[in-house]
Amino acid sequence: MRIKDQAPILSVISSLDGFAARLGQVITHAGLSQSEFARRIGASPGFVSDVVRGIKKPGAEFLHSLRSVFGISIDWLLTGDGTMHGGSGIDLELLRSIRLQIAVARSAVIDANPTAKALLLLIRDGRLQEVAVDPDLRAFLDTIATVDSDFDLATELYNGHLWMDDPAAQRRNLMAAAVAHFEARKPLDKVAALGRASGATTQINISPSQRNAGRDYHE
């Protein structure tokens, strides 16, 4: 009888054994250092480090902060059931938007398409309303196609940004992540690489002076 009574308790303990690993996944998905993650949820870096290492178990206030700040499913965190952000439905509109943004990022970075580069600036600056009145931008969006090989990237970005409540910030972060992905896969400029190795510096950025309604994107 005592063995039967202990079975549910042992099950809970077994589930909690994976808590530290799941918290580590949360921090990784957030793209933050443990110190910054701790600051966001109002905990000390030392405590978060102890939780990730499985030395300490958090209380209700810690769990509530994770839910409030990062949208983490407490059921998943405690038991591993379900998904990191809860729910089982897929936001198809968000997934389609991500695939389109990846296609724009690929065209801008890999193909160096000036219209795609203009779209990057508009997305970054929250000026998407200008697309509706620009025939060149609208025509470009009508012709751009998603690439099946980018589906894994779309899924990764979807999982990593689903929790965000601000659509504008979500678009900016998604596009920045897609651009970074393709920037890392551009053909290596060996001369520039040698210059960096010898101490020279090369800076590539997008500044406010580089935007003029999508026509004046400069590297």
Q: Where do the domains of the chain lie?
A: 2-79, 92-210
Half-sphere exposure of 89 (CA within 13 A, CB side): 4
Residues 28-37 pLDDT 10s? 888 889 999 9
Token code pair at residue 199: 């101490």
Residues 47-95 pLDDT 10s? 999 988 888 888 888 888 888 888 888 888 888 777 777 655 556 677 7
Token code pair at residue 137: 């931008």
Greater confidence, 207 or 83?
A: 83
Residues 144-160 pLDDT 10s? 867 767 777 777 777 67
- The predicted pLDDT at position 6 comes to 37
CB distance 143 to 66 below 8 Å: no
Instruction: CATH number for 2-79: choose from 3.20.20.410, 1.10.10.60, 1.10.260.40, 1.10.287.610.
Output: 1.10.260.40
Q: Per-residue pLDDT averaged across 124-130, rounded?
A: 84
- What is the amino acid identity at position 92? L
- Rounded CA-CA distance 75/180 in Å is 33
Question: Can you list the positions of beta strands (E) in 90-181?
Answer: none
- Rounded CA-CA distance 204/210 in Å is 12
Which region, left, alpha or beta, applies to residue 126 given φ > 0 means left and ψ of -120 to 50 means alpha? left
Mean confidence (pLDDT) of the chain = 74
CB atoms within 10 A of CB 113: 17
CA dihedral 140, 146, 149, 154 (to 10 degrees): 110
Greater confidence, 187 or 183?
A: 183
- Say yes or no to pLDDT of 198 above 80: no
- The predicted pLDDT at position 8 comes to 38
- Tokens 């997008």 -> residue: 206
Instruction: Kindly report the backbone phi and psi dihedral angles of residue 108, in degrees, each rounded to the nearest multiple of 5, phi listed first.
Output: -70, -45
CA dihedral 88, 92, 97, 100 (to 10 degrees): 110
- Rounded CA-CA distance 183/13 in Å is 44
Token code pair at residue 177: 């992540």
